[in-house]
Amino acid sequence: MTKNSDCKKFYVIGLNYKKADVVTRSNFSISKEKQKELLEEAKRVNLNSVVILSTCNRIEIMGFAKHPFQLISLLCQYSRGTMEEFAKVSYVYKNSEAAEHVIRIATGIDSQILGDYEIVGQLKEAFYQAKDAGTVNAYLERLFNISLAASKETKNKTSISSGTTTVSYAAIKYIKDNYSKKDPKNILVYGLGDIGKNTARSCAEYLEAHNLTVINRTKEKAVKIADEINAKMDVHQNLKTKIKESDIVIVATGAPAPTVTADMVSEEKEQLIIDLSIPRNADPVLNDRNNISMIDVDLLSKKTKETIEDRKKQIPLVEDIIQKHKSEFYEWLNFRRSTPAINSLKKSLEVIQKDAITSHSKKHQDINSKLVEDVTSQMINKIVSKFAMHLKAENTQANQSIKVMKDVFNLEPTES
């Protein structure tokens, strides 16, 4: 490992949809600006290898620390969550379990909607953000590359993502199942981040019988998306008017406080509000309005049971892919740890070789020193190669084997 992670272990700490409801996840969500501040703070407290993953379904910090509490305290410091709340719904993975957890996330097998690959783009974004901040070491870089390779193989060799059921598509399916083409509705998509864009595109593709309008705080982005999907666009200043006019409002703004409030909706007309945001961006008080129906990401996930049952049949195949890539990662890790020791062994054997050839050359004047050197060099290379293969094959005993080798050959200490 690197000096930055010396005496530290690799942890993943966090919470997700399995034990934490949408309100709790909202409390622990970290805005992009806060994520940048957290990474800078991590460096200040000598946590130099850290990645933050904050999505609608999970909030995690992964990195090297002497104790997971160091990462947990950062999460609580830069979110609205508390230690007590975290303890009730959290998980902590260490070393190999933590590495496998990251690989599992990338394959979609740990997503709220099984096989949902939105997480892959979010993983990439989290990784590049940390890399830009200078909080990615060789271990994390290799782990993310392995995880993305596992994701790609899962997509290519299984059908766990067939009948795509992302959060965005789940919203579309709900509308398709509950609103007839014969009675066109006015649909507003408010907020055009990644989820908002995907939802707007899906609306245009699958709900073309309805009337679609998009609004974003940044007008240029709204214009671009509207042109791309042939939808209407309105400016943010007209938001309140457009919400009152709409039959269906899809909110995907990702703001830290509600952006759709009670004064914005109709007082009489029945309206459906689908809130895809974490934290919630539609004010919860709207649930008390008789003319307003509210749906959030937790409710949407319940609408995908049929597809999920088919996808569950693919789980054994995905598990095999996960274990394959986990083994590949630890093969690399063990080889990386053992390389200094192997190089030291080779140097030690070369010293023995040189001394032996010198000694025999003095006793036997007619010895062919070049031939002896070539033959013994081949032997050294085979010995070193055999030992390297042993370390790869016997992962669980690698450290013990290296210790025995150091004791036998009196090798210099190497960095673990």
Burial of 384 (0-12, 13-18, 19+ CB in 10 A): middle
pLDDT value for 136: 97
Least confident of 51-55, 156-160, 275-279: 275-279
Q: Are residues 280 and 198 in the same domain?
A: yes
Q: Give domain status of residue 236, yes or no.
A: yes
Last residue of a domain, one of 282, 305, 328: 305
Position 416 pLDDT exceeds 80: no
pLDDT value for 394: 44
Q: Are residues 286 and 355 in the same domain?
A: no
Q: Are residues 213 and 151 in the same domain?
A: no
β-bridge mates for residue 14, sequence order: 60, 91
Question: Does residue 7 carry a catalytic annotation?
Answer: no
pLDDT value for 173: 83
Q: Give domain status of residue 320, yes or no.
A: no
* pLDDT interval class at 412 (50, 70, 90): low
Mean local confidence (pLDDT), 265-282: 91
DSSP letters spanning 355-403: HHHHHHHHH-TT--HHHHHHHHHHHHHHHHHHHHHHHHH-GGGHHHHHH
Mean local confidence (pLDDT), 163-169: 69
Q: Are residues 155 and 171 in the same domain?
A: no
Q: Are residues 361 and 241 in the same domain?
A: no
Position 19 pLDDT exceeds 60: yes
Closest CA to 38 of 50, 27, 26, 25: 50
Torsion region of 193: left, alpha or beta (phi above 0 gives left; psi -120 to 50 gives alpha): beta
* pLDDT interval class at 353 (50, 70, 90): confident
Mean local confidence (pLDDT), 234-239: 96
Position 407 pLDDT exceeds 80: no
The CA distance from 398 to 340, in Å, is 13
pLDDT value for 304: 64
Q: Give domain status of residue 326, yes or no.
A: no
Cα 114 to Cα 18, 272, 318, distances in angstroms: 12, 26, 11
Position 232 pLDDT exceeds 80: yes
pLDDT value for 196: 92
Asked if omega into 279 is within 30° of 0 (cis), the reply is yes
Q: What is the pLDDT of residues 375-387, one digit of tens each?
A: 888 988 888 888 7
Q: What is the pLDDT of residues 92-125, one digit of tens each?
A: 999 999 999 999 999 999 988 788 878 899 999 9
Q: Are residues 187 and 115 in the same domain?
A: no
Burial of 141 (0-12, 13-18, 19+ CB in 10 A): middle
pLDDT value for 165: 62
Q: Give domain status of residue 414, yes or no.
A: no
Q: Give domain status of residue 135, yes or no.
A: yes
Last residue of a domain, one of 113, 137, 160: 160
* Stated pTM of the model: 0.62
pLDDT value for 112: 82
pLDDT value for 56: 82
The CA distance from 67 to 49, in Å, is 14
Q: Are residues 154 and 172 in the same domain?
A: no
The CA distance from 105 to 230, in Å, is 34
pLDDT value for 18: 93
Mean pLDDT of the chain: 88
Q: What is the dihedral of CA 251, 255, 260, 262, to 10 degrees?
A: 140
pLDDT value for 408: 75
Q: Give domain status of residue 310, yes or no.
A: no
Q: Give domain status of residue 313, yes or no.
A: no
Q: How many domains does the chain have?
A: 3
Q: Are residues 132 and 9 in the same domain?
A: yes
Mean local confidence (pLDDT), 132-150: 96
Catalytic residue, chosen from 7, 56, 76, 203, is: 56
Mean local confidence (pLDDT), 357-370: 77
Q: What is the dihedral of CA 236, 239, 242, 247, to 10 degrees?
A: 120
Closest CA to 151 of 112, 114, 113, 104: 104
Last residue of a domain, one of 289, 305, 321: 305
CATH number, position 233:
3.40.50.720
pLDDT value for 5: 45
Q: Give domain status of residue 57, yes or no.
A: yes
Closest CA to 378 of 405, 404, 406, 353: 353
Q: Are 248 and 191 in contact (CB under 8 A)?
A: no
Q: What is the pLDDT of residues 248-257, one digit of tens each?
A: 999 999 888 8
Burial of 355 (0-12, 13-18, 19+ CB in 10 A): exposed
Q: Are 105 and 326 in contact (CB under 8 A)?
A: no
Q: Are residues 155 and 179 in the same domain?
A: no
The CA distance from 149 to 326, in Å, is 11
For the chain, percent of residues with pLDDT exceeding 90: 58
Range of the domain at 139: 3-160
Q: Are residues 156 and 171 in the same domain?
A: no
The residue type found at 416 is: S
Q: What is the pLDDT of residues 179-216, one digit of tens each?
A: 988 889 999 999 998 889 989 988 998 898 899 999 99
Instruction: Determine the Cα angle at 356 with ends 352 and 359, to 5°.
Output: 140
CATH number, position 107:
3.30.460.30
Q: Are residues 192 and 265 in the same domain?
A: yes
Q: Are residues 228 and 286 in the same domain?
A: yes
Q: Which helix (H) or strand (E) holds 308?
A: helix 305-312
The CA distance from 70 to 261, in Å, is 37
Position 224 pLDDT exceeds 90: yes
Beta pairing, strands 91-94 & 50-54 = unpaired
